[in-house]
Amino acid sequence: MTNLHRHAPLRVALVGLGTVGGGVIRLLQTNADLIARRAGCPIQIVAISARDRNKDRGVDLSPYEWVDDMTTLATRDDIDVVVELIGGADGPALTLARQCLSAGKPFVTANKAMLAHHGLGLAALAEKAGVALKYEAAVAGGIPVIKGMREGAAANEISRVYGILNGTCNYILTTMEKEGRGFDEVLKEAQELGYAEADPSFDIDGVDAAHKLTILASLAFGTELDFDAVATTGIRHVIAADIAEAAALGYRIRLVGMAENGPDGLFQRVHPMLVPLDHPLAHVDGSLNAVVAEGNFVGRLFFQGRGAGDGPTASAVVADLIDVARDEYGDALAMPVAALAQQKPADAGKRVGRAYLRFKVQDRPGVLAEIAAATRDAGVSIESMIQRGANQADGVLVAIVTHAGEERCVRETLDRLAGSDSLLQTPMVMHILD
């Protein structure tokens, strides 16, 4: 169907040849004809670059020009777009992005950390040069949520956007849930299976999800990216008993990244939440990702799919390339950078909701009364309070579910109990998704 191509081939330089880079090469080879029909032209990798030329990547790189100095790509006339898959908030990825966009070279990236930290500046460079800065793969892998927010829901005032943004955490939590096992054991297995990194902290401490949330929030609300304002808690301290208690109450525990915008400011938080069974996020299992956006006309939109892996991520990268080939792109952050609002962070303490609190305490008289008194004095109204495992040698667990109230009261409860020798470890607080 060559006669149907509107344009000369789109010539791509691919920088970074890890799992995703290999996926992009395989995808462009496998679906070449279909992509050419959809894009209006063939999409061809012409140059590649990575740190180590000699590493075996299980994919034939011989058709492509190897470029040692990636900084030459920004100004080469025989390259139409640069795809960055190096990763990292700063360093070579950021240098390359700035060089390309300053030189007017369209830029496609999967780099959520770089965008969360430097997205505003990069969008301004792209805007100034009038070129594409595309990053569908940066959030929720293969799920087209960037497009969903930037375009699909663009007519709406979005009140909140939230979701399950890290597949590793979701795999660990849902495995703990299904098998009744502990965090450390499941994490170790996930590492052995390759589902979690040897150094897992980026995932399990919520940083990766916070990067993605920062990007989603900016698109959803038309506000400047503000990664530093994301309150981030990971899943290290979720124990099997929390999952069991939540299940008994009709909830599942998910690491939720949530952003809300309103007159009181922009609220952004990544933390494990209790999700009611009738909410679609409760049914997002294993390494899947999902995003929910609530708009004032569209209502609740829900997107689910594979949030990581070479295939899904490559799918998003190539979708961006197709948009570039079609000449269907515009402001990276959905509007001119100068039109983005500088929204102040909201005071989380004023948010109203229900919470789950779990204490590990000494097994002795008066401890329940001490906790109950602290909640009372902090103004927390208790919906249920359960003590289990009284026969444990190392203390007992007390789980509380509160009625809806201001979050500051929950914090005050913990402040009042801080230093009490009844508590054997730091209490766990999870908010409940309503």
The least CB distance from residue 290 to a copy of itself, in Å, is 8
Interface with a copy of itself (CB under 8 A), residue from 156, 362, 387, 420: 156
Alpha-carbon Rg for the chain in angstroms: 24
Cα separation of 252 and 100, whole Å? 44
- Residues in binding contact with a copy of itself, number by CB under 8 A: 63
Cα separation of 319 and 324, whole Å? 9
- Please give the structure tokens belonging to residue 356: 């789950």
Geometric angle at alpha carbon 189, from 185 and 190, rounded to 5°: 115
Stretch that binds a copy of itself, among 78-86, 207-215, 331-339, 419-427 (CB under 8 A): 331-339
Query: How many CB atoms neighbour CB 299 within 10 A?
Result: 9
Q: Which residues are annotated as a binding site for NADPH?
A: 112
Mark 334-353 with x for binding to a copy of itself (rule: CB under 8 A) and - for no binding.
xxx-xx--------------
Stretch that binds a copy of itself, among 66-74, 192-200, 251-259, 314-322 (CB under 8 A): 314-322
- Please give the structure tokens belonging to residue 158: 């979005």
Residue whose CB is less far from a copy of itself, 177 or 412: 177
Using CB under 8 A, which residues numbered 210 to 229 contact a copy of itself?
Answer: 222
Q: Among this protein's residues, is 212 annotated catalytic? A: yes
Of the chain, the end-to-end C-alpha distance in Å amounts to: 52
Using CB under 8 A, which residues numbered 28 to 57 contact a copy of itself?
Answer: 30-31, 34-35, 37-40
- 334: phi > 0 → left, psi -120 to 50 → alpha, else beta; which? left
Residue whose CB is less far from a copy of itself, 182 or 280: 280
Residue 283 makes contact with a copy of itself by CB under 8 A: yes
CB 287 within 8 A of CB 195: yes
Diameter of the chain by CA atoms?
84
Residue 9 makes contact with a copy of itself by CB under 8 A: no
Residue 263 makes contact with a copy of itself by CB under 8 A: no
Measuring CA to CA, which residue among 166, 268, 170 is closest to residue 214? 268
CB 193 within 8 A of CB 203: no
Cα separation of 26 and 1, whole Å? 21
Residue 130 makes contact with a copy of itself by CB under 8 A: no
Residue 155 makes contact with a copy of itself by CB under 8 A: yes
- Please give the structure tokens belonging to residue 106: 């369209």
Q: Of the listed 212, 344, 350, 360, which one is catalytic?
A: 212
Measuring CA to CA, which residue among 165, 316, 160 is closest to residue 255? 165
The least CB distance from residue 40 to a copy of itself, in Å, is 7
Stretch that binds a copy of itself, among 79-87, 177-185, 330-338, 358-366 (CB under 8 A): 330-338
Contacts with a copy of itself, residue ranges (CB under 8 A): 1, 4, 6, 23, 27, 30-31, 34-35, 37-40, 136, 142-144, 147-148, 151-157, 222, 280, 283, 295-306, 311-312, 314-319, 321-323, 326-331, 334-336, 338-339
Catalytic residues: 212
